Amino acid sequence: MDQRVCLFTGASSGIGAHTVEFLAAEKGWRRLALVARRKEKLEEVAARCRAAGASDVLVLSLDMMSDDDCVAAVEKTVEHFGSM
């Protein structure tokens, strides 16, 4: 589980934020890519994931209504972690 990478959209609030925090705290996920538009909110969630045990959390402020940003989410995640 430690080597897996979770790319999670809608991670800045609500269900998405709680889910990534749960993955870090309860399921042992250590490498997370968090996607949404609001960077400050994402940074807050990333900090909580790190406090819960995640070792490498990538914050990506992107708009999933944009095809280019959807591609960028995958490309930047692979670039950062080396795989998905």
H or E element that contains 29: none
Cβ contact 55:31 at 8 Å: yes
Judged by CB, which is closer to ligand NAP: 1, or 15?
15
Half-sphere exposure of 28 (CA within 13 A, CB side): 4
Residue 76 makes contact with ligand NAP by CB under 6 A:
no
Residue 13 makes contact with ligand NAP by CB under 6 A:
yes
Judged by CB, which is closer to ligand NAP: 52, or 72?
72
Judged by CB, which is closer to ligand NAP: 11, or 49?
11
Q: Which of 1, 3, 40, 65 binds ligand NAP (CB under 6 A)?
A: 65
Strands of the 5-9 sheet, one edge to the other: 5-9, 31-36, 56-61
